[in-house]
């Protein structure tokens, strides 16, 4: 390679350099493969050595096919920058780049996105993305004297690369099959295929998935006699948490007192509750869709009615108040309020609000109730990485804290302290929701459900935040808080035995699959789509409601 006005190379050398660069970009995949192989014998060392070789040959074959003269530099520059971003989140947070992660990227709001933009990200992007992309663009690829020469060279390169890959496959096929079978998710570390595949799948699911007409469900929904004859109106408030993990709730046995207020409220805590997904964009539409986790389809959920629609079909007043970037489709056809748009000076700043904003004028709403009502309060909760922004200063009880969104620079204990402070604040907010219902017991039959959308990783196994694919996710991202509060009048009117429910809560494994039918049961909605077996209260009613029509 000569230095003239620009760095120069021929076509073959350019492809060799690109293959080498993209092999180095995948150093994390190579390292994880070597860790999984843990070679001891000579065969295992040869197998380990074949991993970067196969990767290099694959890139060489690919680039020999796609790097056409007019397209190669812009194409490679875009791929390199994309790889830099993907690798930053994989290295820093242990994130897995897949379709669900792309759903998070495109369906989050600007405030959540800005919290992830740190000086480290910008520096990483400059050094691992923009700099190598610029170097690629500065290379001058000289033209061959004969037009057919590079064509033949490329064809020969592809054939030789495939020959090497086939030779390795013949020697180590079983070893590779075992590696990918036993080391779950390792294939998703290969970039750029990981984010290209994720973008393609998300785009197909979001915009190119056939018939998008609204699927109506529960149009037969009506009211049962249990609540219809009651003079006092029934109000159920569903408080939907964000990134709260059950492991850090003292109600569930955590060694710190993180639930001092809810402990006073005689709530019913379920010990073993799990989420549908590990990100809001999956869990929220899943739990409100009426589909179970096993049968959940995100594409169908986008154009299918859900829980709030069925309640509305039954004549129940419904409202969604949001402080967490939207309901992800669960409230698209019902009254909704984005509390950040109110820009309440006491709790909001720069487009982000503390969860106190959700309680603003909630008293007025409850005082004006004319018919049975279900309200969802969608908390910002423990949304990371800027946990220190999720609570008022008076809740900074566990110290020292990580007062930065650059969580990699903080000690793990300071991360836990900061996160636990968010749980303390959520405890206070949820307890005040109960107090608001208690203050109106003479005029309303009140009940409340609190559950989180998913959990959160705080550095366990090198993982941070959430979004790990559900089948690979650790308990920290899957186990969620799930609790009930029922007023005495509500329990008496519906025949609910709270002692039975409390006993069931200690022994029953539940999930977000139960929310849909439990809410229908609690609001005495009769419809063919109601499933009594998923209603958590059904077995503890003195005369179990048979809400499904025959």
C-alpha distance across the termini of the chain, in Å: 80
Per DSSP bridges, beta strands 233-241 and 464-465 are unpaired
237 sits in which H/E element? strand 233-241
Sequence ranges of the domains in the chain: 8-207, 222-540
Mean per-residue pLDDT over the chain, rounded = 91
Which pLDDT score, from 0 to 100, does residue 548 have?
42
Sort residue 381 into left (φ over 0), alpha (ψ -120 to 50) or beta.
left
Query: Residue 444 corresponds to which tokens in the numbers above?
Result: 């309303």
User: What is the reported pTM?
Assistant: 0.84
Mean pLDDT per 10-residue segment, the chain (550 residues): 60 91 95 92 93 96 88 92 92 83 76 79 93 90 74 92 95 87 83 92 77 89 84 95 98 97 97 96 96 94 95 97 94 95 91 95 96 97 94 97 89 96 98 98 96 96 89 94 97 94 95 98 96 96 53
Which pLDDT score, from 0 to 100, does residue 543 have?
57
Which pLDDT score, from 0 to 100, does residue 372 have?
96
Are 112 and 383 contacting, i.e. CB atoms less than 8 angstroms apart?
yes
Query: Residue 442 corresponds to which tokens in the numbers above?
Result: 């003479």
Which pLDDT score, from 0 to 100, does residue 4 have?
46
Q: At what angle do helices 99-107 and 193-207 cross, to 10 degrees?
A: 60
CATH topology assigned to domain 222-540: Alkaline Phosphatase, subunit A (3.40.720)
β-pair partners for 132: none
Per-residue pLDDT tens digits for 257-296: 999 999 999 999 999 999 999 999 999 999 999 999 999 9
Judge if the upstream peptide bond of residue 192 is cis by omega within 30 degrees of 0. Answer: yes
**Cβ count within 10 A of residue 127:** 11
Which pLDDT score, from 0 to 100, does residue 262 have?
98
Which pLDDT score, from 0 to 100, does residue 545 have?
47
Sort residue 328 into left (φ over 0), alpha (ψ -120 to 50) or beta.
left
Per DSSP bridges, beta strands 352-353 and 348-349 are antiparallel
Per-residue pLDDT tens digits for 170-216: 999 888 888 887 777 788 899 999 999 989 888 887 777 666 789 99
Are 474 and 463 contacting, i.e. CB atoms less than 8 angstroms apart?
yes
Measured CA to CA in angstroms, residue 486 lies from 188, 452, 504 at distances of 45, 18, 15
* Dist. CA 259–CA 427, nearest whole Å: 5
At residue 205, φ and ψ (nearest 5 deg) are -65, -40
Cα–Cα–Cα angle for 469, 32, 385, rounded to 5 degrees: 50
* Dist. CA 522–CA 518, nearest whole Å: 6
Which pLDDT score, from 0 to 100, does residue 210 have?
65
CA-wise closest residue to 279 among 18, 465, 503, 484: 465
């Amino acid at each position: 390679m000569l230095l003239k006005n620009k760095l120069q190379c021929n076509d073959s050398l350019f492809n060799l350099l690109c293959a080498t660069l993209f092999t180095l970009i995948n150093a994390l995949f190579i390292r994880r493969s070597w860790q999984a192989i843990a070679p001891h014998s000579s065969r295992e060392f040869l197998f380990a050595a074949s991993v970067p070789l196969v990767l290099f040959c694959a890139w060489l074959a690919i680039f020999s096919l796609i790097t056409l003269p007019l397209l190669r530099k812009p194409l490679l520059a875009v791929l390199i920058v994309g790889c830099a971003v993907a690798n930053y989140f994989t290295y820093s947070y242990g994130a897995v780049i897949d379709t669900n992660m792309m759903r998070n990227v495109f369906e989050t709001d600007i405030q959540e996105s800005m919290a992830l933009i740190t000086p480290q990200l910008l520096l990483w992007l400059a050094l691992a993305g923009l700099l190598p992309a610029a170097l690629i663009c500065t290379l001058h690829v000289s033209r061959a004297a004969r037009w057919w020469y590079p064509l033949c060279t490329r064809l020969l390169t592809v054939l030789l690369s495939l020959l090497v890959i086939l030779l390795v496959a013949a020697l180590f096929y079983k070893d590779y099959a075992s590696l990918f079978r036993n080391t779950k998710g390792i294939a998703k570390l290969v970039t750029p295929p990981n984010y290209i595949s994720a973008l393609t799948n998300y785009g197909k699911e979001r915009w190119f998935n056939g018939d998008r007409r609204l699927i109506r469900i529960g149009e037969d929904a009506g009211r049962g006699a249990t609540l219809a004859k009651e003079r006092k109106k029934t109000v159920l408030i569903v408080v939907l948490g964000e990134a709260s993990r059950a492991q850090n709730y003292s109600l569930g046995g955590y060694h710190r007192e993180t639930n001092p207020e809810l402990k006073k409220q005689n709530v019913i805590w379920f010990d073993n509750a799990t989420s549908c997904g590990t990100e809001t964009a999956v869990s929220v539409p899943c739990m409100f869709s009426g589909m179970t986790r096993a049968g959940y389809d995100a594409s169908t959920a986008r154009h299918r009615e859900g829980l709030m629609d069925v309640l509305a079909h039954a004549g129940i007043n419904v409202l969604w108040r949001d402080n967490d970037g939207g309901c992800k489709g669960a409230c698209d056809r019902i009254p909704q309020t984005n509390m950040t748009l109110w820009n309440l000076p006491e709790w909001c700043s720069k487009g982000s609000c503390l969860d106190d904003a959700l309680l603003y004028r909630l008293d007025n709403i409850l005082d004006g109730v004319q018919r049975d009502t279900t309200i969802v309060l969608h908390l910002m909760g423990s949304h990371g990485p800027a946990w220190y922004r999720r609570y008022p200063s008076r809740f900074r009880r566990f110290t020292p804290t990580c007062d930065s969104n650059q969580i990699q620079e903080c000690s793990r204990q300071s991360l836990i302290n900061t996160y636990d402070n968010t749980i303390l604040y959520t405890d206070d907010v949820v307890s005040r929701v109960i107090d608001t219902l208690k203050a109106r017991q003479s005029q309303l039959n009140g009940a409340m459900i609190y559950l989180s959308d998913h959990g959160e990783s705080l550095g366990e196994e090198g993982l941070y935040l959430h979004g790990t694919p559900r089948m690979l996710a650790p308990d920290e991202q899957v186990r969620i808080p799930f609790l009930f509060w029922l007023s005495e009048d509500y329990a008496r009117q519906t025949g609910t035995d709270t002692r039975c429910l409390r006993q069931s809560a200690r022994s029953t494994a539940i999930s977000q699959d139960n929310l849909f039918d439990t809410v229908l049961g609690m609001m005495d909605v009769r419809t063919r789509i109601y499933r009594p077996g998923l209603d958590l209260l059904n077995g503890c009613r003195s005369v179990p409601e048979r809400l499904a029509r025959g």
